[in-house]
Structure 1
Amino acid sequence: MKKILASFLVLAVASCSSDDAQNYRDDFAGTYKITAIQAAAAVDLNNDGIESTDILLELVSPHTTLDGVFSGFYNPESPQNFAQARAGSHGAGDSLLSFNFPEQTISYLNFDMALNIPLLLEYTTSMKTYRYAVQENGHVKVIDLNPAFNAQFGEVIGIARDSEPHFSLALKKHMFNFNTKQWMLLDLTATYAKI
């Protein structure tokens, strides 16, 4: 009888462990929006002459162009800008992750050959082809499915889960500084909240 009871307990613990691993993945899966982006160095992304380390504020603030000041270049509330984490069904590492991080599209207007005027055309979304695996301790491991392609948009350093409905993304990314009219490699931390 003791052997049967011991076997039952082993099966119950193994079953719970398996369920916990599944619950970790299911807890992370979902839709997230960016609530903050901070940089280690200040930059002017909206061409107003003011540099800031609050990158999200720079992205959503009105942008100065040759024709005036316009808003609406980036909207973190738009579903196309939401991050998506989709749980897989075949175990750790087959779950899909798309950060949909804002990507500047810059062009240059040439009134004459000696003068280049940078223009922000739009913000698109980048960093889409990743997988993730939730480890036993609840930490999320990011797996880059296309490193050669993704390198042009930035380098994902890792994810930290401070609490279940949120995560922070650490990355290195080139962004165009209108104050210096140059691309800068920035250390960024983006905070995402589950919606």
Structure 2
Amino acid sequence: MKNLILLLLVSLVLQSCFSNSNPPINTLGGWYTLTSVSSDTPVDLNNDGVRSADFLKELTARYYTPTQSTSLSMFTPTGSLYNAEIRPHTSNQTTYPSIDFNFPHQSIDSTSLANRTYFLHFYQPVFEGFTYEIQKDRSIKLIDKLPTNKEKIGTVTHLERINSNSFELTIDKKVFDFADKRWKTAHLKAIYLRKAF
């Protein structure tokens, strides 16, 4: 009887060890599209003179040239250039877990110093070169592997899974506000939704 109890205890301990050693299954992989971006600081990204806390609406609104005579479409969230890619996934089976958020960042230029007029060249994708670890509590630990000029761009501070097809990204980011004609830091929350291919 003692041997049976001892054998039962040993098997329970071994089963507990094996179940704790299994890493969480990684179902993050795939392509994701921006569906919303909100800002704690209302900004004017499209040079129309109106600030908004709806950052995605500002991005997708037509951009007004410095003379206000014409407007241009500068950003489309459905364009593949700005899709976030989390690897490994079905079309990229690298074993190394990595993330490129490809978040849009303003490339701003200006005319001569005597008559300073700022204008938007284009949006460039930033926040690339992350890796990640899925913790035992299913939270995601982000690790920034590539050196970037954080003073000019900003930092990604947190990634949280919403459900199996979406996640929320928290960013402290430098943005150019055309209403103030200067760079400022905005605290952004971006929602990404898995994109079907």
Fold equivalence (TM over 0.5): yes
1:47-126 map, 5 Å: 47-65=47-65, 66=67, 67-71=69-73, 73-87=74-88, 89=95, 94-110=96-112, 113-126=113-126
Residue 69 of structure 1: how far off its partner (Å):
1.0
TM-score by length of 2: 0.84
Tell me the distance in 2 between the aligned counterparts of 1:143 and 1:152: 19
Matched residue, 2:34 = 34
Is contact 1:127–1:150 with CA below 8 Å preserved after alignment?
no
Superposition deviation, residue 136 in structure 1: 1.2
Question: Hey, what does 1:173 align to over in structure 2?
Answer: 173
In structure 2, runs of 5+ residues without a counterpart are: 89-93
Residue in 2 aligned with 1:14? 18
Deviations 1:132-181 (A, max 9, x none): 11111111110011245455321111111121211111111110001110
Q: 1:60-105, CA deviations, whole angstroms, 9 ceiling, x for partnerless residues? A: 001100351111x11110111100111363xxxx411111000100
**Structure richer in helix, relative to its length:** 1
- The alpha-carbon deviation at position 106 of structure 1 amounts to 0.5
Q: Give the aligned residue type for 1:132.
A: Y
Give the drift of 1:116: 0.7
State the alpha-carbon separation in 2 of the partners of residues 77 and 16 from structure 1.
40
Q: Which has the higher strand share?
A: 1
**Considering only CA atoms, is the larger Rg found in Structure 1 or Structure 2?**
2
Contact 1:158/1:169 (CA < 8 Å) preserved in 2? yes
Name the residue aligned to 2:162: 162
Aligned residues between the structures: 184
Helix, strand or coil: the match of 1:59?
Answer: helix
For 1:17 and 1:36, the matched residues in 2 are separated by 37
Moved over 6 A (4+): none
1:94-122 deviation digits (Å, cap 9, x = unpaired) = 41111100010011123xx4211101010
Identity of aligned residues (%): 28
Mapped partners of 1:74, 1:49: distance in 2 = 18
Letter in 1 for 2:40: A
2:45–2:176 CA contact under 8 A, matched in 1: yes
Q: State the secondary structure of the residue aligned to 1:80.
A: helix
Post-superposition shift, 1:11? Answer: 4.9
Shift of 1:185: 0.6
Indicate the SS of the match to 2:116: strand
Cα distance change, pair 151–108 in 1 and its aligned pair in 2 (3 A): closer
Q: Which runs of 5+ in 1 are unaligned?
A: none
